[in-house]
């Protein structure tokens, strides 16, 4: 005969209640979902970083193109301003006003017209003598179309040769 175990002293293996098994299963399921969500979020963050880098590269290239277009527009605007100024004050109009302003004993040796924000004039004048030069300068200062008349250095012994700069103000 076989000996029967003594159940009074040996513990019986106990089975986990169904509630505990369900709680463990639910916890493992939640852990799996959390790991999956974290992994998907990490992939999305990496993709977002790549998109941000691509957008930054595109912005940089567009900024370079914008600066180039802006430089061309500024140059074109300057050219349009100069063309408009030349249309408002053609050289023949300036020369005619200068001829009217100068006395007969003074002549223009060289005239440079600069078209920019303002129309600037650089003149090399020759007067017969100091008195003729004084009359010429007085008439240039008082003449309507010339402003900011600035005479250059001069020598007053005999014929007077000097440089004069002025700004064209336009016929009035």
Residue 6 inside a domain? The answer is no
| Residues 120-143, mean pLDDT to the nearest whole number | 90
Mark whether 69 and 122 lie in a shared domain.
no
Three-state secondary-structure class, residue 50: helix
Residue 9 inside a domain? The answer is no
Mark whether 70 and 100 lie in a shared domain.
no
pLDDT over threshold 70, residue 76: no
| Residues 59-88, mean pLDDT to the nearest whole number | 67
Residue 69 inside a domain? The answer is yes
Mark whether 52 and 118 lie in a shared domain.
no
pLDDT for 47 equals 92
Mean pLDDT score of the chain, rounded to an integer? 83
Mark whether 28 and 76 lie in a shared domain.
yes
Which domain, by its residues, includes 75? 16-88
Mark whether 100 and 162 lie in a shared domain.
yes
User: How many domains is the chain partitioned into structurally?
Assistant: 2
When pLDDT is cut at 50, 70 and 90, the band that residue 145 belongs to is: confident
Instruction: Kindly report which listed range (66-80, 88-102, 108-122) carries the lowest average pLDDT score.
Output: 66-80
Mark whether 155 and 101 lie in a shared domain.
yes
Instruction: Kindly report which listed range (4-13, 65-74, 99-108) carries the lowest average pLDDT score.
Output: 4-13
Mark whether 99 and 63 lie in a shared domain.
no
Residue 8 inside a domain? The answer is no
Mark whether 77 and 125 lie in a shared domain.
no
- Among 47, 62, 88, the domain boundary falls at 88
When pLDDT is cut at 50, 70 and 90, the band that residue 61 belongs to is: confident
Q: Are 113 and 120 in contact (CB under 8 A)?
A: yes
Mark whether 96 and 70 lie in a shared domain.
no
Work out the percent of the chain whose per-residue pLDDT is above 70: 81
The secondary element (H helix, E strand) that includes residue 96 is helix 91-101
Mark whether 96 and 163 lie in a shared domain.
yes
- Among 71, 88, 105, the domain boundary falls at 88
pLDDT over threshold 50, residue 86: no
pLDDT over threshold 60, residue 143: yes
Task: Give the pair of three-digit tokens for residue 115.
Answer: 């078209």
Using CA atoms, how far residue 50 sits from 42, 54, 63, 153, in Å, is: 12, 6, 20, 68
List the strands of the sheet with 119-127, edge to edge. 106-115, 119-127, 160-168, 146-151
pLDDT for 85 equals 47
- Among 46, 72, 88, the domain boundary falls at 88
CATH number of the structural domain spanning residue 102: 3.30.1360.100
When pLDDT is cut at 50, 70 and 90, the band that residue 44 belongs to is: very high
Residue 99 inside a domain? The answer is yes
Using CA atoms, how far residue 96 sits from 22, 92, 108, 171, in Å, is: 107, 6, 12, 11
């Amino acid at each position: 005969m076989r000996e029967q175990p003594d159940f009074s002293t040996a513990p019986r293996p106990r089975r986990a209640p169904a509630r505990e098994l369900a709680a463990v299963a639910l916890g493992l399921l939640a852990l799996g979902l959390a790991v999956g969500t974290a992994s998907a979020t990490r992939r999305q963050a990496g993709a977002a970083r790549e998109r941000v880098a691509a957008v930054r590269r595109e912005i940089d290239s567009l900024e370079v193109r914008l600066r180039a277009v802006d430089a061309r527009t500024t140059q074109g605007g300057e050219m349009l301003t100069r063309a408009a100024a030349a249309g408002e004050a053609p050289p023949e109009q300036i020369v005619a006003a200068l001829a009217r302003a100068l006395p007969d004993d003074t002549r223009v040796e060289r005239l440079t017209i600069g078209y920019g924000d303002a129309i600037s004039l650089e003149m090399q004048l020759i007067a017969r003598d100091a008195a003729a030069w004084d009359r010429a300068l007085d008439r240039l200062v008082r003449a309507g179309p010339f402003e900011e008349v600035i005479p250059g250095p001069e020598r007053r012994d005999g014929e007077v040769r000097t440089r004069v700069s002025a700004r064209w103000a336009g016929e009035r």
